[in-house]
Amino acid sequence: MKFQGSFAWGQVQGYLGSPRLAKGNRSGQVFVMNGRIIQNQTMRVALEKGYDGRLPSRTFPWAVLALELNPELVDCNVHPAKSEVRFAQEQAIFTDLLHAVRSALSRQNLAPTLKPNASQSSGVSHSKPQAFQGQLTWKPETWEHMDEILKGYRAKRKGSQKPQQDLVISEIPPAFVSPAPSANDDVRPSLRTGRIIGQLHQSYILLEVPQGLWILDQHIVHERILLEQLEASWETSTIQVQEILPQHLEFTPSEAILVEEALSLLPGFGLELEPFGNNSFLLRAVPSSLAHSGGNWKEEILEIATTSKKTTTQKQEALITLACKGAIKAGDYLDEKEMRALLDGLATTNNPFTCPHGRPIIIRLENQELLRRFGRT
């Protein structure tokens, strides 16, 4: 998808790859500044954090980002080869890029479609690109030819690292380089108005929409809803709690030490826990939105205790743990009213496409694919 933005410090434009193009390395990322390919930690981190929650673990987005800014705001002397640069306004550039990437992704319909053998019908070449040689010339006015400019480009790595076989820029289908999003890209109206066909294997919601058939994983639909509710409450320190019948949790001595150290932090996540002697604790309250989940909270308490006190990312993992605990499970029967409530709730989220760890929430079976399968086209 094409991507651009203007800010006080300058401009950025480029392409953001679909999450389906994610790789196991960063060699699909190209950063350009004032017409020159660079390396920059600020741009890389802003890009990757912009994809948070949209990619599977240990994968990285494909992207091309180019900045145009005043050369006086750039320090090119960080690395002897001068490919690594730093900016005078690192924080402003980081914040603006992060928000711009998130905003661009939120406007795209990222739900995957069921298209077996798509690579055979797309006409995409799978030949290996030629090794990049010479100077890569950059012309900001030629964005429409980005795929040609970068064809065959392979980011070089210092030393004799074995070439990564999964970086093949020429394999990117043209369909993934889409125009600016339109109203048709938004799944929310269809989530609200689609006809519920029923529940499949007590795990999936089948939804008839004008575009075809959507299949939604009920667990991660609910997990996404709960996570965004918890995030909003945590950021404003307003997580509502509900008392439960005290739950006695027993830990090993080493586990009990971790839990003891986290006692002062747990209330911030809506958990009220108190020591009960002999490496055990009493859980007296949980977040109101999760009170219905029942079951033993030992594993969740331990996981939160080991992550919540460190970085912001690990605090996010603690919230994900809570959301997963409270979400409807595969195998839970849902009536139509309950399914409708889930679909309406998903339509209010910022990211209705992926679970917190990047798995798809919606799989789309398009009308055209149905017609093709039944020989009607």
pTM above 0.85, yes or no: no
Among 130-139, 163-172, 232-241, 301-310, whose mean pLDDT is lowest? 163-172
The torsion angles phi and psi of 198, rounded to 5 degrees, stand at 160, -165
How many CB atoms lie under 10 A from the CB of residue 170?
17
Evaluate if residue 323 carries a pLDDT over 80. Answer: yes
DSSP state of 345: H
Among 69-78, 266-275, 284-293, 338-347, whose mean pLDDT is lowest? 69-78
pLDDT at 99: 84
Residues 6+ apart with CB under 8 A from 147: 169, 172, 174, 177
49 vs 57: CA distance, rounded Å: 13
Instruction: Choose among 28, 12, 106: nearest CA to 63.
Output: 28
Instruction: Choose among 273, 269, 284, 266: nearest CA to 251.
Output: 273
Tally of helices (H runs) and strands (E runs) in the chain: 11, 14
Q: In this structure, which topology does domain 191-377 adopt according to CATH?
A: formyl-coa transferase, domain 3 (3.30.1540)
How many CB atoms lie under 10 A from the CB of residue 187?
22
Instruction: Choose among 50, 59, 51: nearest CA to 22.
Output: 59
| Torsion, Cα of 186, 192, 197, 203 (10° steps) | 80
Return the domain boundaries, the chain. 2-176, 191-377
Assign 181 to helix, strand or coil: coil
Q: Hey, what are 216's tokens?
A: 């939604």
Q: Hey, what are 112's tokens?
A: 């995957």
Write the pLDDT tens digit of every residue in 192-232: 999 999 999 999 999 999 999 999 999 999 999 999 999 88
273 vs 264: CA distance, rounded Å: 9
Higher-scoring residue by pLDDT: 147, 315: 315
Pick one of 3.30.230.10, 3.40.190.10, 3.40.1160.10, 1.10.10.10 as the CATH number of 2-176: 3.30.230.10
Higher-scoring residue by pLDDT: 297, 116: 297
Assign 201 to helix, strand or coil: coil
Going by pLDDT thresholds of 50, 70 and 90, the confidence category of residue 177 is very low
Q: Which runs of consecutive H residues, i.e. helices, occur in the chain? A: 41-50, 90-106, 118-121, 146-150, 188-193, 218-235, 253-262, 298-307, 312-326, 336-347, 367-373
